[in-house]
A and B are shown apart, each in its own frame.
Chain A
């Protein structure tokens, strides 16, 4: 379980990005995050885990234990992978409720909104949606069990 709240992690990322004064630094940081992202095992790189953007392929998988959702993901494009890494940092290790209500404002605040735009060129928006879908599914599963 993540001891810090989603809002706290978002704030920390925004503060980190405020230190960069050039676009190069910003992207080098994202690329570095992408390269360091925990490897997603091949068994998860399957069709049903794919989130298809127009240009890069993103695989996303989730697991649920003790009321906590853990995400794992990968992409064939390293900048997208860096962005995924941030999404995982923010959302992974939280309860479905917290994930569902997460604002994700940090993306605009760090100047990555262009990656969120609903163009065909990226799957970032689709990724957040899919992460929230997982959270919703786990939430309903949890409620179903309570009502048994």
Chain B
């Protein structure tokens, strides 16, 4: 399949914005959906909408099978050893909160230390701050170097027998930096700490193998991997998940309820209280199938070309500075331009049909670290083309002419 054939599978890419063809460069915020994913959603509602796991009628059975098929697809997608290690959540944020509120509440005590990094999304900062405040634990932060990589020597120094958890982003949403999580996990395990990997940005680009990585938890969102919003997954090592307290109470997560005592369901249902997001979960499998059919190797190769091209072309713009120059980066470019506020660029680009993200990207501490109010971020997906980068560059020149 050529890129233009792939583009044909994404109906939204055919639309115009303010009279111009859409250039969608906000893939790190959410990716667009192929027709197959859109069809899976409508097919579910038109043919076998039913509540799952309970009914014995045909519709319930079909819906349950499709829902559980996604669990197997996610298991394969992240390389988990057991299917019951996959817990469906609303997304990465809920997955991190689940760990904070269950494993965290049980295992973090006063004086314990949790290590995060200076490039975390607010979703991987705030849940730990809440936990630390509640328990009297301490949050330690691995600094970010000027090139957008983590100061690994400082990380090694921060690790001690007080460290109970390292919660780290695999790929930075603001900088594109790919962190050496495998190495970081091994180091954390040497001091007896558990590790959560935030895979919100990495899952769509990198090959994920939680067993090889040896992380204790891994979280990602469906909507960033060409799937629907409102569904994501938490992977956790079986023995950890089995011993953690429950998250939310309700239906589905119980084995037996009496007014005296309730016994909880087995994994993974123990953590899935209430009727889940059935339609979106089913369509998530379609999205993962789509990625598989294209092939992550091919996606990465294409995106690497886009990244290299965009980096060269953007750097040629006078006054433009790329924020985040890590050796290992995914296909996104964050930049600032001297004398111009990122928001002004975003507003003008929108008028030219280009969707980029401007602002702090929910990483305010990182923006503070670089002393900037925010950046303009262009993030690429498998359906983007070099021609679109040319459009971006031309339109940036036009915007600068208007602003300066």
Contact = CB atoms under 8 A, between A and B. Distances in A.
A120 B358 CA distance: 11
B402 A55 contact: no
B344 interface: yes
A3 interface: no
Nearest to A77: B341
B320 interface: no
A80 interface: yes
A31 B373 contact: no
Interface string B355-373: 0001110000000000001
Given A23-B351, A24-B402, A31-B403, A57 B373 contact: yes
B341 A56 contact: yes
B374 interface: yes
Interface residues of A, number: 17
A79 B344 CA distance: 6
Given A23-B18, A76-B373, A56 B402 contact: no
B359 A55 contact: yes
B403 A55 contact: no
Contacts, number: 48
B343 interface: yes
A49 interface: no
A55 B360 contact: yes
A78 B373 contact: no
A23 B18 CA distance: 10
Contacts of B69: none
B347 interface: yes
Contacts of B340: 78
Nearest to A54: B359
Contacts of A20: none
B1 to A, nearest CB: 36
Contacts of A79: 343-344, 347-348
Contact of A77 (B18, B343, B351, B360): B343
Nearest to B19: A23
Interface string B321-351: 0000000000000000000111110111001
Interface of B: 18, 340-344, 346-348, 351, 358-360, 373-374, 402-403
Interface of A: 23-24, 27-28, 31, 54-57, 76-80, 120-122
Given A78-B340, A78-B403, 9 more contacts: A27-B348, A31-B402, A31-B403, A55-B341, A76-B341, A79-B343, A80-B344, A121-B358, A122-B343
